[in-house]
Structure 1
């Protein structure tokens, strides 16, 4: 009898463990804008509020810069870099200057640029050359920095993330094969975003900026149109990172505080029948927050 009771207890415990470990599934919502992958979560608790196909590895474009930001801020906190550290563009960076597909700060040979300017250009305007320059400052070469990115991804426990560059440009944009394009799942991107905000909340001081002036006086605008004062402003949004390439399509890792809770959303390969590659990702983000956070 005791043996039978023991067996029953073991079975019940096993079923409980399986149920507790089972991922929460969501009935697919009838959203006005569609995407290949979506995740919406509470940044403080990690509770997922909605998701669609959030574990598939997909191209992530400039959302890659979230990891670059994390590592740059690590270097600043450790004293390896300072905000006043300066950089003169390498021959590699000068080649990027002529790449029409890349958003750029547009560095001039012989001129120096501070980490502060490079980080702001990367974070606010999504400048790819600034991301590459910061990678060189930390690791000597972008290739060595990519090793650091992948090592950090592994330490985060990310299973669907692979980095090939610091900026997020598709491989064929920069003279490499399409197979050398940064990949991650929406879930993995949300983890990077959550880790970044938790360890380096000062990043929000940059991501909430609608524009900034470069050292030569040029005004560069944020790519996040949901910020206060921007065309698709949504109260509460203060970040985080847009992305667009041919392979990734339109992407956005958004964050903001709503009803006292910091929320993180990731939308990838957002579809639009209008041929608009910019606004639908923000429309979808707004709909997700209104429907699953503010309802």
Structure 2
């Protein structure tokens, strides 16, 4: 994050239902990946220090895998030191050759967006920032992000890295992602490592014995200038290239939203914190006022047209099926009745004729049930997020013994024979 920022001239924004003043924006519910609002959400744009969410993800993963620990001490390299003492950047000054714990460096990064501390974390995990950047891009692919390009661990423009930018990247490059991929990264970070908000929710904190406090750049946190009820993260970002950006998250009761704004402006078209946090507040209020989790189909729901499946080689010739659990979705007010069931049969469980083969266990999964709303234009972050429930058998079907199967075959033979004779006689007449 760059502390000083050159204001950009006002520009016209395309009309949308919320009139969000940003080059791109998105709002999601993270547990289901439901997109509640989107504007230009697939275009790769500058993300500035929102890049640090990927650094946080890799840090938490390294801690989980016991590759490093919170109390591990990291010696500060000359590179991390030089960046950390640049007062034009968001920083906590770090002494070269001196040890700092990983926890200290993480708090400086998550609360104050400290760039030198971020580089030190990257070096602690990968040995060099260049190798860490490779890890960032590999993890993005693994997480299913679609539009991303990481060039350093901080989100700074490479020209701010004192000529020591990671090998393999250009001297003036900057990290980019789409709003959609940024939201997906935030959702995965919070899902896989929910403890992240314990730190991102801290408004202010001292760093060792340095004068003053690290003040969180997320000014929507309690006690700060743009305080908004329920906000507990996640990451701001500002550079000349990216403009003012913010990935925010807030929770009301059991309902959480994640928002992203990229190059946000105020109502006068000026880049400002009022614009960044004002546009975020507008989205959050829309989300909390208009959406909620609703049960669309109950437990043991029997799907119209798919209440049973045929069975071969069983004592019974069919088995009834139903949902194992209720299917709940994030639903917009007034659209509760707009959802239709979508049954997806597991083709690996049936033959070419769509029949199950005995024996069949009770509660054996035969497919999934999803819900479709033709009025929904936004959908989900990806297919991996699409909510579904298992469709299972209601009872077991034992395999018929050899005699029963033989008699069925005999009966089938004579039935086919009679049909053939009957058709021939009809032909004579």
Q: Same fold (TM over 0.5)?
A: yes
Residue 257 (structure 1) shift? 0.8
Q: Partners in 1 of 2:202 and 2:208 — Cα distance?
A: 16
Equivalent residue pairs, number: 268
Q: Give unmatched runs, 5+ long, in structure 2.
A: 1-14, 291-429
Residue 101 (structure 1) shift? 3.1
Q: Partners in 2 of 1:30 and 1:166 — Cα distance?
A: 33
Match 1:277 to one of 264, 267, 272 = 272
Residue 157 (structure 1) shift? 1.6
Write out per-residue CA displacement over residues 35-57 of structure 1, whole angstroms, 9 at most, x where no aligned residue: 00000011111110000000000
User: 1:37·1:53 contact (CA, 8 Å) conserved in 2?
Assistant: yes
Cα RMSD of the aligned pairs, angstroms, is 1.6
User: 2:81·2:94 contact (CA, 8 Å) conserved in 1?
Assistant: yes
Match 1:164 to one of 151, 168, 186 = 151
Q: Tell whether 2:133 aligns with 1:140.
A: no
2:282 corresponds to: 287
User: 1:101·1:173 contact (CA, 8 Å) conserved in 2?
Assistant: no
Q: Give unmatched runs, 5+ long, in structure 1.
A: 1-26
Write out per-residue CA displacement over residues 223-277 of structure 1, whole angstroms, 9 at most, x where no aligned residue: 0111111111100110000000000000000011124211100000112437453
Q: Partners in 2 of 1:182 and 1:245 — Cα distance?
A: 11
Pairing of 1:23-172 with structure 2 (within 5 A): 28-31=16-19, 33-172=20-159
1:206 corresponds to: 199
Deviation larger for 139-148 or 283-292: 283-292
User: 2:244·2:271 contact (CA, 8 Å) conserved in 1?
Assistant: no
Name the structure, 1 or 2, with higher relative contact order (CA <8 Å, separation 6+).
1
Q: Tell whether 2:233 aligns with 1:239.
A: yes
User: 1:249·1:277 contact (CA, 8 Å) conserved in 2?
Assistant: no
Q: Partners in 1 of 2:235 and 2:279 — Cα distance?
A: 15
Q: Partners in 2 of 1:154 and 1:48 — Cα distance?
A: 21
Moved over 4 A (4+): 176-179
Greater strand share, 1 or 2? 2
Write out per-residue CA displacement over residues 105-132 of structure 1, whole angstroms, 9 at most, x where no aligned residue: 1101242211111000000110011110
Q: Partners in 2 of 1:115 and 1:35 — Cα distance?
A: 35
Relative distance call for 1:242 and 1:217 in structure 2 (3 A) is same
Residue 97 (structure 1) shift? 3.2
1:195 corresponds to: 188
The structure that has the greater radius of gyration is: 2
Q: Partners in 2 of 1:156 and 1:258 — Cα distance?
A: 27
User: 2:21·2:269 contact (CA, 8 Å) conserved in 1?
Assistant: no
